[in-house]
């Protein structure tokens, strides 16, 4: 079976110094390789195809058969890396906190320390002592368990 660490190294080598970055590598039964990427300015189908061709060129089908899929995370997938957050400023997130609370709020900004959010009115405003003025809430990275972008149509 193909090694996920090796696939990760190949993908990171190709994406180095680009606006694209690796989110995950999963190898499923039957040697199905799933590579998930994201980008600072989004990801195109051409980006996925280029990475797929690059990874495939580094593997040998003669030695081991495989199926390779390179894609972006779905719209409802949790944000996995700090690098993903800046591209979502102005969008609504559902943030699960380490203390079990969930906050539905608009992402205002991202810093090395954490997130600055404004709760949606009437939708999960979190009460915290010493909240900054105007209802802004600062959340440290350590207190974030998971964040999902809320897609509205």
pLDDT number for residue 128: 45
Distance between CA atoms of residues 123 and 114, nearest Å:
21
The length of the chain is 153
| Mean pLDDT of the chain, nearest integer | 90
pLDDT number for residue 132: 45
Model pTM? 0.79
pLDDT number for residue 122: 57
pLDDT number for residue 41: 87
pLDDT number for residue 31: 94
Planar angle of CA 138, 143, 147, nearest 5 degrees = 85
* Cα separation values, 80 from 45, 58, 107, Å: 21, 26, 16
121-133 burial code (b ≥16 CB/10 A, e <16): eeeebbeeeeeee
Q: What φ, ψ does residue 124 adopt, rounded to 5°? A: 80, 30
Name the CATH code of domain 4-72 (choices 1.10.10.10, 3.30.360.10, 3.40.50.2300, 3.30.300.70): 3.30.300.70
Domain ranges of the chain: 4-72, 82-149
| Class of the CATH-defined domain 82-149 | mainly beta
- Intervals of the chain under pLDDT 70: 1, 122-134
């Amino acid at each position: 079976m193909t090694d996920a660490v090796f696939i990760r190294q190949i993908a990171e080598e190709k994406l180095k110094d680009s606006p694209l970055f690796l989110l995950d590598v999963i190898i499923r039964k039957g040697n199905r390789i799933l590579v998930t990427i994201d980008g600072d300015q989004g990801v195109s189908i051409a980006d996925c195809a280029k990475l797929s061709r690059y990874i495939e060129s580094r593997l040998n089908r003669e030695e081991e058969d495989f199926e390779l899929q390179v894609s972006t995370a779905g719209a409802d997938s949790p944000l996995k890396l700090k690098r993903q957050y800046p591209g979502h400023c102005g969008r609504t997130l559902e943030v699960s906190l380490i203390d079990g609370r969930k906050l539905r709020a608009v992402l205002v900004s991202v810093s090395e320390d954490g997130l600055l959010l404004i709760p949606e009115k009437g939708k999960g405003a979190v009460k915290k002592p010493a909240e900054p003025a105007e209802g802004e809430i600062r959340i440290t990275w350590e207190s974030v368990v998971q964040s999902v972008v809320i897609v509205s149509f």
